[in-house]
Chains A and B, each alone.
Chain A
Amino acid sequence: MAPSRDAPDSGLTWRMLATAVLVALVYAAAVLPAFLAGPVWGAAAAAAAVALAVLSARAADRVALYAMDARLVTSSEEPELHAVLDRLCMSSGLPKPRLAVSALDTPNAFAAGSGPGSAVVCVTGGLRSRLEPGELAAVLAHETAHVANRDVLVGAIATFPALCAGLFLGWWTGLLTGRDRYGAGRAAAFAGGIVLLPLGIAAAVLYAVGTLVGLSLSRHRELCADSTGALLTGRPSDLVSALDKISDGLRDASRDDLRALRPVSALCVVGARGGGAAGLLSSHPPLERRRERLSALSWRLASGG
């Protein structure tokens, strides 16, 4: 059997579909109140939600690069990295993403941009100093897989309702606590907050559910990118050893470096917060699980398909 770029895995496919349905439900929940006000308002709210989701995905790459203190590099500045990326693009058939390097000493990498046309792949200085060339290629392949699968766009769309609900929650709790308001204004704000109580509760629920669904989707996409990337290089073991080194590096990383990573954590090859308590609250699957799936791939390649 020919290994294809997508590892056939019906279980994963079904879970992904289920998650997609959940995301759709979250969106429906977000626009539903507007429909109660009338179909025109409802349609307007739905259109606004979609437009904002696309806009946020478009701007995400610049935000991520800024957060990581990264800059774009040309092929004359970084010939080796570009050569690795060139070869990955040659074997994947993707257009070449832009390449950025961040000065951070924490080993990590991320991909941003809404699709293959406008993608950017970023590696940190710490990653380059810690990994062997083969492992670096494996990490870049994982990021290239994210680009091919349009994970950034999908992730941004999935978490957008939760983001909006979170913003609304912040504003609403501000009304209730009367922050920066005095006298009559404070009383009025409090009254307004009470009136908006049902909306506030709805936003809280939307925020919680949306975040959980978004994280669950992110974990699935990570597993997909792992197998796509590993098949692209043909060397799952390289990715396993790279993941091990990166999580070791993250464990030793300074608090400041981790804080710098947090805004882009979901996009990174290994989540900045690490496994810790919460399978459900993590944007990445546990290392054990990823290692298991990659060894299964390794075994498949070794046995000839």
Chain B
Amino acid sequence: MGFLDTLLGRSKPVKPDLDRLFGLSTAAITLEAATGFTPTGLGSVCFRAAEGGAFARLQRDVQELLDADEGPKVEISTDSYGYTWILNRHDPAELPALVTDLHAVNATLEANGFGPHLLVSLVGFRGPEGQRLALVYLYKRGTFYPFAPLPGDKRDNALELQVRGAVGADLPFEDDLGRWFPVWGAPGL
């Protein structure tokens, strides 16, 4: 942030790079080889619905866009903090299709000027013993991090670090562990 921006009380957003999402397809293959985790075919996009008619119209457009192809329909839900989640379902083997859909939702919201309201996109994985894992894309930073919830609102930090070791080279990973924000109860996890 520049001196002038500090002086004037402004802060500039970083330019996000949505194409990084496509890296998930290769990362999933590496992840399976290294840790045995496989995609669940579930993925979701989280954003903060802005007030007013413009955003409501846009949300309908996004749903229609995704419902248009032959696959199962998307599910839209709102969590207890007022954030909207768009859940996509695909066949677990079709990860690239899922990633394309997630990219489309992000791109549509971004193109309509609601980029600042995008929070995260995530893709769900299951371990050999049924452990849950998500690779989370932090829109504002353009980085990925793992989130592995355990029963009782705990996180499997060891597994998360192991996942970083496995796919850290395939994806731009979030360096700051303080920004591996938990996404408890996210649809698609």
Listed in ascending order, the chain A residues whose CB lies under 8 Å from chain B are 1-6, 13, 16-17, 20, 79, 83-84, 86-87, 89-93, 95-96, 133-134, 137, 148-151, 154, 220-221, 224-225, 228, 231-238, 298, 301-305
Which listed residue (A16, A83, A149, A233) contacts B11, Cβ 8 A? Answer: A149
Q: How many residues of B contact A (CB 8 A)?
A: 43
The number of A-B residue pairs with CB atoms under 8 Å apart is 128
**What residues of A have a CB within 8 angstroms of the CB of B13 in the complex?**
4-5, 93
| Given A86-B181, A151-B9: A1 and B52 interface contact (C-beta under 8 Å) | no
**Can you pick out 6 interface pairs between chain A and chain B where the beta carbons lie within 8 Å of each other?**
A2-B116, A87-B119, A96-B179, A298-B52, A302-B52, A303-B54
Say whether B130 faces chain A, with CB atoms less than 8 Å apart. no
Within 8 A of A (CB), among B1-26: 6-14
Which listed residue (B12, B138, B184) contacts A90, Cβ 8 A? Answer: B138
Q: How far is the CA of A148 from the CA of B6 in the complex (A)?
A: 9
Say whether B118 faces chain A, with CB atoms less than 8 Å apart. yes
| Given A5-B13, A86-B181: A301 and B52 interface contact (C-beta under 8 Å) | yes
Q: How far is the CA of A137 from the CA of B140 in the complex (A)?
A: 18
Q: How far is the CA of A20 from the CA of B8 in the complex (A)?
A: 9
- Shortest Cβ gap from A226 to chain B (Å): 11
| Given A16-B9, A89-B181, A220-B9: A2 and B50 interface contact (C-beta under 8 Å) | no
**What residues of B have a CB within 8 angstroms of the CB of A16 in the complex?**
7-9
- Shortest Cβ gap from A73 to chain B (Å): 16
Complex A-B, nearest 4 residue pairs according to Cβ-Cβ distance, in ascending order: A302-B52, A234-B50, A304-B54, A93-B140
Inter-chain contact B140/A92, CB cutoff 8 Å: yes
Q: How far is the CA of A303 from the CA of B56 in the complex (A)?
A: 11
| Given A87-B83, A149-B9: A93 and B51 interface contact (C-beta under 8 Å) | no
Inter-chain contact A228/B11, CB cutoff 8 Å: yes
Extra contacts besides A83-B182, A234-B49 (11): CB < 8 Å: A4-B116, A16-B7, A16-B8, A16-B9, A86-B182, A90-B138, A95-B176, A137-B82, A231-B116, A235-B48, A236-B51
- Shortest Cβ gap from B157 to chain A (Å): 14
Which listed residue (A17, A79, A154, A220) contacts B6, Cβ 8 A? Answer: A154
- Shortest Cβ gap from A132 to chain B (Å): 10
Which listed residue (B81, B113, B184) contacts A133, Cβ 8 A? Answer: B81
Inter-chain contact A1/B113, CB cutoff 8 Å: yes
